[in-house]
Structure 1
Amino acid sequence: MAITRETVPHTRGEQLKKRSIGVPSLVFLIIAASAPLTVLAGGVPSSFAVTELLGVPLSYLVLGLILVFFAVGYGAMSARISNAGAFYAYVAAGLGKRQGLAASGLALVSYNLMQVGLYGIFGFALSSLLATLVGIQVAWWICALIGWAIVAVLGVSAVDFSAKVLGVLVVLEFVIVAIINFFSFRYAPEGVTTTTIEPSNFIGVGLGTALAFGIAAFMGFESGAIYSEETKDPQRSVPRATYIAVGLISLFYAFSAWALSVGVGPSNIISQSQEYGPDLPFVMLDGFGWKTLADIGQVVLITSLLAALVAFHNSVARYFFSLGRERVIHPWFGQTSDRSGAPRSGSIAQTTIGLIAIVIFAVAGNGSEYGIMYPILTMFTWLTNAAAFGLIFLLVVTSLSIIRYFDKNPHGHGVWVRVVFPTLALIGLSAVFVLIMLNFDTMIGDTGPASLVWIMPAVIILAGVIGFLRGEHLRRSNPDVFEHIGQGGERLEPAPREPLV
């Protein structure tokens, strides 16, 4: 019999706030991590600039389809296992407990790198905005610390409160992007053309790079399962929210990328993306005579990044909580706030890591030849792309785990849910993972030593190896803790036990 909340009781200080968020709030939490305006301002121009491929909008549809395949099995599994550790618990149930701990290492480090890396672009964007709007020169790291302080407060607040704050910020993002899309089609210097959504302009030399770059726009789509223990209906909320989020952001990204290309003009989209980068949507609005709207858009870009920081912070904090609750790491990490039900210790740990990272990059970047671009070219680029590498690898492993899990017990699901869709996801995600490896040098740029190309992926893989070794150590030294791995949340059905030999 599986370990359930009845057989392994937790103290009040080891429980998240139950039944506190519904499907709409969960969708906002998922989309906040994907940051729609950040993708339009940063991801889309970067893809056009680096790949020199006109068909970039179609990459979001292709990637969205792959992730929908993944979401089918992922959603079915989330209806059976409710655990704040998500990937950790799913891999443990499908592939084994040691493999589950390996997945927890991958997830913890990857989400950490993603969250910390975002402080680089947040600090840069806020510093630039203050210089442009009010003429105040503030160092990027001071601006990053402002964001850090806000995230620290929201991280220990009740999840429903964070969801409401993120909901407002996400709605603002969609409104601004929708306005940018509207003016793009209204002014369209070369007319409303389908050039950038024609398959002939998608299949080319830069296709692999486009998919490798584009997948970063979806990172965080899987985070709904991390909140499963806090949802009002664990069996239905996560699958529904994941389907809605993946479908919405896939179509919205593809449409908005196409709109941006129409607003700039297909003949100029690549060159202007290379020239203006993340400023391109706002430069375009300014060119249309809407400078005030462009300034508002840049303000909302700051809030978009803040929303993503909070979302990834929450993910890391809950992984810390899940591992601490099961005594895989120190029990302190499994403590929650009696007042808010938030994973207090995990949040404090992530806040501390963020502070250390900001200080390290601030000191290292003092007097750097890259000037004001330093946090973008190093902290943001290095860490977030390494995180994308780790998270895609984790999705590949989870796809395999889903297949193995339902092979042990179909739970009434048909072959499409148990095998076909997860297998298609496994093939598609494996292909994207290979593309990331082949293009990793391009993704992290040439702002650091050449060794970064293998050091950053090695750090991710090493985290998984350490997790596996920790599992083997627990198997030998503490069988009781080992037996409970991945079962700290709500088990909705008996799960097979892994033998100790």
Structure 2
Amino acid sequence: MSTTPTTPSATTGPRRLEGHLGTGSIVFMVIAAAAPLTVVGGNVPLAVAGGNGVGAPVGFLLAAAVLLVFSVGFVTLTPHVREAGAFFSYVATGLGSRAGLGAAFTALVAYTAIQVGVYGYAGWAVNDLVLHFGGPALPWWLYSFAVLAVVAVLGYRHIELSAKVLGVALVLEIAVVVLLDAVVLGGGGRDGLVTSTFAVENVVTPHIGVAVLFALTGFIGFEATAVFRDEARDPERTIPRATYLAVLVIGGFYAVSCWALITGVGAADAVAVAGRTLAGEGNFLLDTTEEYLGTVLRDVVQVLLVTSLFACVLSFHNVLARYQFSLAGKGVLPRALAHRHPRHAAPSTASVVQTVTAVVVLAVLAGLGLDPLVGVFGSMAGVATVGMVLLLLTTSVAVLAFFARHRSTPRRGRFSTVVAPVLAILGLLASLWLVLSNFTLVTGGTVLVSTLLALVPAVVFAAGVGAGGRFRLTAADDDERVHPPR
């Protein structure tokens, strides 16, 4: 494929999306995809009980540090990637169409997996909420399909409507957790601030990998800042700002909230309380909220957990639709998916196809009688986590390769084009090892089932690399077609 740093046609083609999203709106979309309240209520107990105990908050900080270093190379390459498509576009720019299509297919599978997983989680959460307020017990999948229907309507319309919906839900869920954090940490919890969280002996333990693993799972979707570049007000400034801000806000929020929950119950009881949560005998987040903020706010948090999951799955839906839109514009997927709605200026056809895909996969999983949390969410989150780390690794390699070919690129220091990508690769390799060595904790399945699930992203990536040999991206094409090489 062409290695030209800029591709004007990629931004002027007739199928380009439009919008005026600022840094704040894009950060809202990305943080909503991270589902902060969901992570605090679900991933934190897993990290504390199965990981390094009171040292778990540092696991979130380590994950954020790795992703922050990765972001340096990611945003440095941004001005040279003249199209939306995130990992697909970045990897294709640095490594060619074969690796680019491998990344695109991997991203489609990873996002589809986590989206379906969250639908399962949302069905369970809504049912739990209904039961809490005395309603009837219904199959979880009924609620999942109801959530899916609302997401389908919003995903079909203009992106700014989704941004507003996500923004409202996000502000509310973050506000209540920040209030809990402030009350607990400000009051010193049961036994004073747990400063032992940062002690070396509590951080460096054989199980720190579990904390890092669940921290990484909580960051899935953060790179979506680049997916919205065509709809950003000023992409070359907005995308870097949104990327750094998203990583810092997400990482800081997770770490502080994890520390607050540990402080709230005390260092001596934190692991036991988290363990009871996993056993279904309590709820780390909700019980701590009730103790420090009262019953009313506990109920509010339980409601916001549902809105958090909704915001999360809506964000993933939007990202998936734009991946399909971008690939269809290149002829990799059917051209009909590159249709832009004349009124909403949204990839509405791709959105409909993604809705149908989710309905089919969810129906199959529900028909198999799987548990919504372990069977649906756990296994799908496992596939998505492996896929995400693989995509981050490939993107970092692409950054190195691109700037190795374009050493004369102005105003780009050696740190951002060489040192940071190398550090990111090393950190991500270590993270991948931690994910795979603790994979059964995410999927909840046997070693055999977990191994098969872990192989899915790698197999899909290889298939994309193989298919990439059939295409050659040419910068001269006005409609962004991908033509077979002569």
TM range, smaller chain: over 0.9
Q: Distance in 2 between matches of 1:487 and 1:391?
A: 31
Offset of residue 106 of structure 1: 0.8
Match for residue 206 of structure 2?
Answer: 205
Of 349, 353, 359 in structure 1, the residue corresponding to residue 353 of structure 2 is: 349
Map 1:122-137 → 2, pairs under 5 A:
122-137=122-137
Deviates more, 1:339-348 or 1:219-228: 339-348
Match for residue 240 of structure 1?
Answer: 241
Deviation digits for residues 308-357 of structure 1 (CA, Å, limit 9, x no counterpart)? 10111111111111110110121111112111111112211111111112
Match for residue 375 of structure 1?
Answer: 372
Map 1:328-347 → 2, pairs under 5 A:
328-347=332-351
Percent identity, aligned pairs only?
A: 33
The answer to whether the Cα contact below 8 Å between 1:55 and 1:196 also exists between their aligned partners in 2 is yes
Q: Distance in 1 between matches of 2:307 and 2:276?
A: 24
Q: 1:485 to 1:432 in 2, by over 3 A?
A: farther
Amino acid at match of 1:159: I
Q: Distance in 2 between matches of 1:105 and 1:235?
A: 26
Q: Distance in 1 between matches of 2:258 and 2:360?
A: 36
Matched, 1:467 2:461: no
Offset of residue 107 of structure 1: 0.8
Q: Distance in 1 between matches of 2:11 and 2:267?
A: 60
Matched, 1:400 2:397: yes
The answer to whether the Cα contact below 8 Å between 2:180 and 2:293 also exists between their aligned partners in 1 is no
Matched, 1:258 2:259: yes
Offset of residue 46 of structure 1: 1.1
Amino acid at match of 1:400: V
The answer to whether the Cα contact below 8 Å between 1:263 and 1:284 also exists between their aligned partners in 2 is yes
Match for residue 418 of structure 1?
Answer: 417
Match for residue 493 of structure 1?
Answer: none
Q: Distance in 2 between matches of 1:127 and 1:215?
A: 27
When normalised by structure 1's length, the TM-score is 0.90
Q: Distance in 2 between matches of 1:331 and 1:123?
A: 34
Unaligned runs of 5+ in 2: none
The answer to whether the Cα contact below 8 Å between 1:189 and 1:262 also exists between their aligned partners in 2 is yes
Unaligned runs of 5+ in 1: 369-373, 490-496
Map 1:355-370 → 2, pairs under 5 A:
355-365=359-369
Offset of residue 363 of structure 1: 1.5
The answer to whether the Cα contact below 8 Å between 1:402 and 1:422 also exists between their aligned partners in 2 is yes
Match for residue 272 of structure 1?
Answer: 273
Q: Distance in 2 between matches of 1:288 and 1:264?
A: 10
Of 267, 274, 290 in structure 2, the residue corresponding to residue 286 of structure 1 is: 290
Q: Distance in 2 between matches of 1:127 and 1:439?
A: 30
The answer to whether the Cα contact below 8 Å between 2:58 and 2:255 also exists between their aligned partners in 1 is yes
Match for residue 451 of structure 1?
Answer: 448
Match for residue 110 of structure 2?
Answer: 110
Q: 1:56 to 1:485 in 2, by over 3 A?
A: farther
Q: 1:144 to 1:487 in 2, by over 3 A?
A: farther
Match for residue 47 of structure 2?
Answer: 47
Q: Distance in 1 between matches of 2:72 and 2:477?
A: 21
RMSD of aligned C-alpha atoms?
2.3
The answer to whether the Cα contact below 8 Å between 1:25 and 1:167 also exists between their aligned partners in 2 is yes
The answer to whether the Cα contact below 8 Å between 1:85 and 1:486 also exists between their aligned partners in 2 is no
Matched, 1:483 2:484: no
Q: Distance in 2 between matches of 1:93 and 1:359?
A: 37
Match for residue 428 of structure 2?
Answer: 429
Deviation digits for residues 116-137 of structure 1 (CA, Å, limit 9, x no counterpart)? 1111110000000001013222
Q: 1:321 to 1:422 in 2, by over 3 A?
A: same
Q: Distance in 2 between matches of 1:400 and 1:485?
A: 26
Q: 1:122 to 1:484 in 2, by over 3 A?
A: farther
Offset of residue 84 of structure 1: 2.3
Q: Secondary structure in 1 aligned to 2:218?
A: helix
Amino acid at match of 1:305: L
How many residues align? The count is 476
The answer to whether the Cα contact below 8 Å between 2:11 and 2:82 also exists between their aligned partners in 1 is no
Amino acid at match of 2:66: I
